[in-house]
Structure 1
Amino acid sequence: MNKPEKTAILIGLLLCMGASTIMQTYFSSALPAISSSFKSVSFYSWIHGSYILASSAVIILSSGLCQRFGNKKNFIIGSLLFGIGTIIAPFSSSMLQLVITRIVMGIGAGVVVPATYGIIGEHFEKEKYSSVFASFAVVQIIFNGLGSLAGGYLPKIASWKAIFFLLLPLEMLSFWLVFRNLPDSVPSMHTEPFYFRRHLLMILAILLTTLGIEQAYHQQYLLLILSAALLLFVVWKDTKGGNILLPKEFATDSLLRNLCLQVFLLGAFYNVCLAYLPSLMQFSMGFSADRAGNLLAVFVVLMGVGSVLGALYKISERPAILIGWLAGLAGGIFIPFFFMLAVGLLGFGSGVLMSVLLGYTATRTQNNASGVNSAAHLIRNFGGSIGTILFQFSLSYPQQYYIGGVLILAATGTIAASLSFRISHVLDKTNA
């Protein structure tokens, strides 16, 4: 595959991810207007939650299907499902119908994610992974902002339905770029039997855990505790039973397990900063909404800078990851003293980790990129969900609660990154 074809495929994947990202932040901002247009608050939280629920549930199943049928076929199916949801969503006549379309879009996104990682693993060199993931991080940041702006302005100047008509051409372009340039011949990666019952149990565990996370926002934690226990049981049984669902690398590669712990912490760290820094600034520190918005823009911009520098600056991955965590730790320390510097360090550290940590995790596999990266994607989502649940209490407590939590996350990540050096040393001695 030549360079123009790779570039076209990467642009297509970035546009696909951007369309998914902008939809999530759009609905977060536009939900009041959507609810008002339907004159109903029924299923209010499910407009957002159903998408996460559906996409998370099918990721592991889709990863197995990618290995069995190839990444291109799964990308096509997932893109078509997402596109169908985009087409029918504007014709929803009730909140329930809109939830159903969001479920269709979520399933499509859940199918696309493993295929995307598999395509990257098949057609891009491992040395380029940091650059690829930096591109994804930057696009995610841009489209997050665009989604929030669109959700605030589109319902006022046109209609909340306008976003679907604007994004459909973008989705079609993404589909065409990947479909047109990705080779048809994808080698079969393995021919083991497909254990549908085990996948179904994993889907049930993920569904219940995600639903438990949603319920925890309403101070109901029993379902989350029970479903998390079920998920851990399923993972334990899968590990004991030959890793039918999760990639075998998780059982054999101690460094990969360390990196996935850091991915979980990154999901919590990044989402806690993005979700609660504005409330910290306005409720605890007395900043105006305008000033809080400007300072959050500093976080977003420095995150983009960190992502790009993490990809371009040629040092080995583990020191770069350690730099990212140390920047986050310094940011937490400086919050009470030099707030703008603290926000910049928090954003910069998050950006470095987004590109380098995720890129390095992607290298820890020989022939199962979709499986390893899809599992890491799911782990990051869980980290973000659980982190935002735990930090909701910071809305009622002094800022020391928030600062202490950020410091704990960054310090734990720093310790895990430091331990990864020791793991590498042990592996090197074993191989020698």
Structure 2
Amino acid sequence: MVTTGLVAIDSTILATAVPTIVRDLGGFASFPWLFSLYLLTQAVTVPIYSKLADTWGRKPVVLVGIALFGLGSVLCGLAWSMPALIAFRAVQGLGAGAVQPMAVTIAGDIYTVAERAKVQGYIASVWGVSSVVGPTLGGLFSQVLSWRWIFFVNIPLCVVAAWLLWRRLQEDVERRKHRIDWAGGALLTASLSLLVLGILEGGNGWAWDSTASVLVLGTGLVLMAAFLVVEKRAQEPVLPLRLLSRRLLATAALISVGVGVVLIGLTSYIPSYLEALLGVTPLVSGLTLALLTIGWPISASQSGRLYLRFGFRFTALVGTAICALGCAGLLLAASSPSVWAVGGACLVVGLGLGLTASPTLIAAQSSVDWGERAVVTGANLFARSIGSAVGVAVMGAIVNASLRGLDGDTHPAQLQGAVRSALVAVLVVALLMIVAAAALPRDRAASPEAQRSGG
């Protein structure tokens, strides 16, 4: 939980400090890269770290991740310009790519199937707390001390997390000679970097049909094709393609993509929507959205009762249905905006996501042994990151199309229509998640004793 808190707090604390950072360092036009480059480096390294964790163990990988995250935090706090700060955020992202998936993987290693739901709920609760604490600390440091403290505050957390893992986590890793798939790792990193970059910047940094977009996405696709060829021949591939041929793992990854889209869609547009149409303060809009991340751990921690009795597929179907119901409620609330209506709908969405994301991840982890669990976990979380990146691009294009042709300040009516269009897209994705959940293989819950190793 402490390790997860590193990434969770950092993902929420920066947003409220951006105006202060821009006033100090300048570079307003480039500040979105503070988020984009961090997301990029985090996403593309997850599969690499996951394979290394299955090869050398979780402990060395997560400790390296914490060290990189801490180094990046120190450098960010010392940054002298916006380009320097953006570059140092990339270092933080390199660390975050190891920290988040390893925390979830370790939970899969040391707890039984019956226990994992409650533990995943505890881990998810860190995000719920961070959604409230992060923005508050960011505003406090910016106004009272300095924005640099939003990065320096990570240092004691890094020390505590590393000490706890060093002292408490004991692993029995099979020591044998491994052949590291350097070619596959390099091709995967390069291809994913270009593809995620193209998705993030398409429609923002450049037009979708521009030469830059075609070159970036086209080169990314070519390198991805080369990666697939190399992986088929590799003795120990960095991403075993045979895993993706399993129905459970492929379907769980599709659901995770949908979770990423729903999350980024709501967190991107709900706060601005409330502030522009209802005139609420950023604190109120943030607390309203926080109900989503509060609902998630509540239902995730209780999901074990459902999947142990009725199975993972049934639990995921219930979760996706509740999520779609909440998204429909948000769409209805857009016609007559109300903080209470939006907050209630966000809570329902969070409850649905908790019954969807955690059980499908646990099902995927439980279908493989220790030697593949980190790769499976990493692939699931990577799919969520890709969903977020694609969601940003698609919903940004939808909103921009709705506002196209408007001059000057956007009229509330047009903004309302644009956000409604984005919420329609979120609802469609939520409905598709129900279809994906229905495609999960039928399962019967095994006893906790039989699943002691999660195999």
TM-score (norm 1): 0.85
The offset of 1:228, in angstroms, is 5.5
Say if 1:318 and 1:420, in contact at 8 Å, map to a contact too. Answer: yes
What amino acid is aligned across from residue 369 of structure 2 in structure 1? Answer: Q
Say if 2:132 and 2:287, in contact at 8 Å, map to a contact too. Answer: no
2:229 to 232, 237, 245: 237
Over 3 Å counting, the alpha-carbon distance change for 1:115 and 1:299 in structure 2 is closer
The offset of 1:18, in angstroms, is 0.9
Say if 2:300 and 2:358, in contact at 8 Å, map to a contact too. Answer: yes
SS at structure 2 position matched to 1:201: helix
2:330 to 322, 330, 335: 335
* More divergent stretch after superposition (102-111 vs 168-177): 102-111
Aligned length: 408
Q: Which whole-Å CA distance do the structure 1 matches of 2:194 and 2:35 have between them?
A: 16
User: Is 1:167 equivalent to 2:154 in the alignment?
Assistant: yes
Over 3 Å counting, the alpha-carbon distance change for 1:333 and 1:109 in structure 2 is closer
**Partner deviation per Cα, 1:217-255 (whole Å, 9 max, x = no partner):** 335332564256346525643564467121355244212
1:130 aligned partner:
117
The offset of 1:117, in angstroms, is 4.2
2:265 to 269, 272, 276: 272
1:203 aligned partner:
189
Q: 1:219-368 maps to which residues of 2 (within 5 A)?
A: 219-221=206-208, 222-223=213-214, 225-226=217-218, 229-230=221-222, 233-234=225-226, 236-237=228-229, 240-241=232-233, 244-247=237-240, 250-283=243-276, 286-290=277-281, 292-293=285-286, 295-311=288-304, 313=306, 314-315=308-309, 316-337=311-332, 339-340=341-342, 341-367=344-370, 368=372
1:379 aligned partner:
383
Say if 2:239 and 2:375, in contact at 8 Å, map to a contact too. Answer: yes
SS at structure 2 position matched to 1:177: helix
Say if 1:42 and 1:95, in contact at 8 Å, map to a contact too. Answer: no
Taking only the aligned residue pairs, the percentage that are identical comes to: 22
What amino acid is aligned across from residue 278 of structure 2 in structure 1? Answer: F
Over 3 Å counting, the alpha-carbon distance change for 1:363 and 1:235 in structure 2 is farther
1:413 to 433, 441, 447: 433
2:412 aligned partner:
none
Over 3 Å counting, the alpha-carbon distance change for 1:395 and 1:82 in structure 2 is same
Say if 1:30 and 1:155, in contact at 8 Å, map to a contact too. Answer: yes
What amino acid is aligned across from residue 43 of structure 2 in structure 1? Answer: S
1:5 aligned partner:
none
Unaligned runs of 5+ in 1: 1-13, 426-432
Q: Which whole-Å CA distance do the structure 1 matches of 2:105 and 2:230 have between them?
A: 22
The offset of 1:214, in angstroms, is 2.7
What amino acid is aligned across from residue 358 of structure 1 in structure 2? Answer: L
TM-score (norm 2): 0.81
1:213 to 195, 199, 204: 199
* More divergent stretch after superposition (161-170 vs 336-345): 336-345
* More divergent stretch after superposition (253-262 vs 85-94): 85-94
Q: Which whole-Å CA distance do the structure 2 matches of 1:233 and 1:289 have between them?
A: 48
Over 3 Å counting, the alpha-carbon distance change for 1:165 and 1:402 in structure 2 is closer
Q: Which whole-Å CA distance do the structure 1 matches of 2:421 and 2:9 have between them?
A: 31
The offset of 1:97, in angstroms, is 2.3
1:177 to 164, 169, 179: 164
1:38 aligned partner:
25
In the TM superposition, structure 1's runs of 4+ consecutive aligned residues that sit over 4 Å from their partners are 290-294, 311-314
The offset of 1:325, in angstroms, is 0.7
Unaligned runs of 5+ in 2: 334-340, 403-416, 445-455
1:390 to 390, 394, 416: 394
Over 3 Å counting, the alpha-carbon distance change for 1:21 and 1:125 in structure 2 is same
Say if 1:82 and 1:107, in contact at 8 Å, map to a contact too. Answer: yes
1:401 aligned partner:
421
Say if 2:299 and 2:355, in contact at 8 Å, map to a contact too. Answer: yes
The offset of 1:66, in angstroms, is 1.9
What amino acid is aligned across from residue 18 of structure 1 in structure 2? Answer: G
**Partner deviation per Cα, 1:51-88 (whole Å, 9 max, x = no partner):** 22222222222222223322211122221121222233
Q: Which whole-Å CA distance do the structure 2 matches of 1:66 and 1:351 have between them?
A: 26
Q: Which whole-Å CA distance do the structure 1 matches of 2:360 and 2:381 have between them?
A: 12
Say if 1:331 and 1:346, in contact at 8 Å, map to a contact too. Answer: yes
SS at structure 2 position matched to 1:246: coil
1:4 aligned partner:
none
Q: Which whole-Å CA distance do the structure 1 matches of 2:39 and 2:237 have between them?
A: 24
What amino acid is aligned across from residue 225 of structure 2 in structure 1? Answer: F
